[in-house]
Chain A
Amino acid sequence: MTEALLTLSGVHTHIGEYHILQGVDLVVPRCGLAVLLGRNGAGKTTTLRTIMGLWQASAGRIEFNGRDITTMKTPDIAQAGIAYVPESMAVFGGLTVRENLYLAARNGPMDEQRLEWIFNFFPALKKFWHYPAGNLSGGQKQMVAIARAIIEPRELLLIDEPTKGLAPAIIDNLAEAIRQLKGSTTVLLVEQNFNFVRKLGDTVAVMDDGHIVHSGAMADLASDRALQERLLGLALDSHQ
């Protein structure tokens, strides 16, 4: 069995008076791509934000690489090797594409070879290198956000709904880039678009109402129509 890189055990998160995560148990195996599926409001984004320490877990334990990170501060979690691409992309619009990536390269100057490797995924970034990131299209901003997360090697990459609001042609490119990425880093990908992730994911977990209601191999879910309908219901149909 593949070793776990990230483990959430009975994680609860409260935001104000709302009890969002209600005992999440999730295992992300080292290497490959784990997918977290679920409808709007199921708690997927909260799960990623709790892992990053942007919201503190009120109970439970989060273990990364054998180390308890439950109460660690966000910068320490990032320095431990987790990169985060939020749903909003959160590119720094007043900074150029180069400056966005330069800032993300914490450990010194950007590695030219790695940069070329990133340009292979996202050629548009080279074209818009000295362009303010705020002026880019949604798809290009998504490329900046992902490139920023991988400008230095990280052990785990958290990506939150990268296809949201993007045109179908861009989604295909993004899928290809993520497919190549998973060869070099572990990815935990949050999505609602099942068609986007069914061929990308190695493992899958499905969330509902703050719980994990299913976890297993993506191939099993992808080949079982009845299971898809039971777990994802109308949300799945609307994406097909």
Chain B
Amino acid sequence: MSTTTLPAIPKDYAPLLLVPALMLAVLPLIGSASTWTTLTVAGLAMGMMIFIMSSGLTLVFGLMDVLNFGHGAFVSVGAFAATLVLAPMKGWLEAESLAMNLGALGLAVLMAMAVTALLGWAFERVVIMPVYGQHLKQILITMGGMIVVEQLIDVIWGAEQVPLPLPAALRGAILLGDSAIEKYRLLAVAVGLLVFVGLFLILNRSKLGLLIRAGVENGEMVEALGYRIRRLFVAVFAAGSALAGLGGVMWGLYKETLTASMGGEVMVMIFITVIIGGLGSVGGCFIGALLMALTANYAGFLAPKLALVSHIVLMLAVLLWRPAGLMRK
């Protein structure tokens, strides 16, 4: 019997260290611990919101090889669908009770995710299905789909901005030493972490997750094992759309106003995140979103003019280092 030891499984820790390394590297440049804390928490919160909006897109690309340039439509629809619940529950939102505020938000999120999942299902059937395997057509038709959805939002809710004030208990900031941390940003960090942990557990600890990961690698073989990958595709598309809907609610509350084009406006950030992370990688998307938001915040403080191009500079640096993105094999 052979006594040779097994070769070590190669581990790739470098991308995981980027976020803490960036956070620590800028501390001496910023100088003040309280300013650093404020900037860092704000960056993490924005990063989490970008991650929530982007995670669905990277999943859809990874599993289905679909370039969905209409993903932003689900962000907008999610935010507007939430108002269907939040408007009649204004009393709960204005109450000083955190439980009532979160209860109303929870229901709004459920509504947003249900509506966007349903819209995602219809979008896949009507818009995506005829163009599987044709990237150029996918780009054109999904962009067209987004324009149609934006126009429908204008028809239903009007072309004016719709205010979406924060619930009473989530307004303002808490003091952490000398640092003022906005309460809503803490909620955004918590929700983002919850989504990431949930996705991580589903993808790595469940048979459904195994099927998705296997389907990303070789959908044909998954079918040959007896699984209907088409149904899996549709379910993942609907789930990805629902995540975008959740991201839309979070983003709308962060901006406190909604417009039909809000989803289209964040698409550049979403795409940069997905590209930095590596198309199809949820972990890469998480790291990419945090890196992008933190870099923008730090650059905005240290060199405001650089903040305008920080996303592009970051993407360039990552792609020069790893042309397929941080976590793409």
A residues sitting closer than 8 Å to B (CB atoms) are 52, 54, 73-75, 78-79, 84, 86, 90, 92-95, 99, 102-104, 106, 127-128, 131-132, 135, 148
Contact = CB atoms under 8 A, between A and B. Distances in A.
Contacts of B216: 94
Smallest CB-CB A-B distances: 4 pairs: A78-B226, A90-B221, A74-B223, A92-B214
Contact of A128 (B6, B10, B227): B6
B305 interface: no
B156 interface: no
26 contacts: A54-B220, A73-B223, A74-B223, A75-B227, A75-B228, A75-B229, A78-B223, A78-B225, A79-B226, A84-B224, A86-B221, A92-B213, A94-B213, A95-B210, A95-B213, A95-B214, A99-B210, A102-B207, A102-B210, A103-B222, A106-B227, A127-B6, A128-B6, A131-B9, A135-B7, A135-B9
B210 A104 contact: no
Interface in B194-244: 207, 210-211, 213-214, 216-218, 220-229
B225 A106 contact: yes
Given A74-B223, A74-B224, A86-B224, 20 more contacts: A54-B220, A54-B223, A75-B226, A75-B229, A78-B223, A78-B224, A78-B225, A79-B226, A84-B224, A90-B220, A90-B224, A92-B221, A94-B329, A95-B210, A95-B217, A103-B207, A103-B222, A104-B225, A131-B9, A135-B9
B224 to A, nearest CB: 5
Contacts of B221: 86, 90, 92
Contacts of B223: 54, 73-75, 78
Contacts of B210: 95, 99, 102-103
B207 to A, nearest CB: 7
- Interface residue SS majority, chain B: helix
A57 to B, nearest CB: 17
A52 B224 CA distance: 7
Interface centre among B216, B218, B221, B329 (most CB of A within 10 A): B221
A1 to B, nearest CB: 31
A228 to B, nearest CB: 33
Contacts of A84: 224
A136 B214 CA distance: 17
B225 A148 contact: yes
Contacts of A104: 225
Contacts of A74: 220, 223-224
A105 to B, nearest CB: 9
A103 B329 contact: no
Nearest to B227: A75
Contacts of A90: 218, 220-221, 224
Given A94-B329, A95-B210, A99-B210, A106 B217 contact: no
A84 B223 CA distance: 10
A54 B6 contact: no
Interface in B170-213: 207, 210-211, 213
A94 B9 contact: no
A52 B228 CA distance: 14
B293 to A, nearest CB: 28
Contacts of A93: 217
B9 A132 contact: yes
B6 A131 contact: yes
A135 B7 CA distance: 9
A196 to B, nearest CB: 23
Contacts of A92: 213-214, 217-218, 221
A128 B214 CA distance: 19
A18 B229 CA distance: 27
Contacts of A99: 210
B329 A106 contact: no
Nearest to A132: B9
Contacts of A131: 6, 9
Given A94-B217, A95-B214, A131-B9, A103 B225 contact: yes
B199 to A, nearest CB: 16
B315 to A, nearest CB: 25
A55 to B, nearest CB: 11
Contacts of A132: 9
Contacts of A95: 210, 213-214, 217
Nearest to B216: A94
A127 B217 CA distance: 24
Contacts of B224: 52, 54, 74, 78, 84, 86, 90
Contacts of A54: 220, 223-224
Contacts of B227: 75, 106
Given A75-B227, A132-B9, A103 B214 contact: yes
Interface string B1-25: 0000011011000000000000000
